[in-house]
Amino acid sequence: MRLNSFEALNAFAQQLERGIAIINKGAFQTKVVVTPSSINEKGVVIKVSILKTFIQSLPPAARSSRMLRVRVSVAGAAGSMTGLQHALEAIEALDRYLVSPDLRLEVTDKEGRVRGVPNSRIIQEISPEDSFMDSPDSISMQDVQDDRIVTITIPEEVEE
């Protein structure tokens, strides 16, 4: 079976939702949304947005892999201390999941079983200059946004 960029993006979003739910043991529910989406959730959501998909040209061996650059954002309104707590818990769960050793893309097969995609990997980059809130001293409703860039590498051909 060939896994294309769209399928990989959606598989990654489902994988994040599963992984974060396991880490938090049901402490809170955070929806993972692939953008663009018409879903307008109250509170905090995790948005997954494709930035670029490409095949590396060098070295020649890399041509057998496709790279997806994805922005993963914990975003929403933290209108209270509970909202702030939820946002921080979502970020911590995302961090714990994305630093898992040997993290690779997972897909759900026709029988509903989750399996890892051979020769895939997931790594993240975090900018130290990111800001969590626009104006932390303000007493008005605060929008929070924590961004990271995730690179997903998948083989051009995935065997079933």
Architecture of 5-155 per CATH? Answer: 2-Layer Sandwich (3.30)
pLDDT of residue 71: 95
What is the edge-to-edge ordering of all strands in the sheet holding 65-78?
A: 31-34, 44-55, 65-78, 142-155, 121-125
Q: What pTM did the predictor assign?
A: 0.86
If you average pLDDT over each of 10-19, 71-80, 135-144, which comes out highest? 10-19
The yes-or-no verdict on residue 1 having pLDDT over 70 is: no
Residues with Cβ within 8 Å of residue 29, at least 6 apart in sequence: 21
**Band (157; pLDDT cuts 50, 70, 90):** low
- Residue-wise pLDDT for 52-64, tens only, equals 999 877 776 667 8
Helices vs strands, H then E, count in the chain: 2, 7
Q: What does the alpha-carbon distance between residue 86 and residue 94 come to, in Å, rounded to a whole number?
A: 12
| Greater pLDDT, 120 or 158 | 120
pLDDT of residue 9: 97
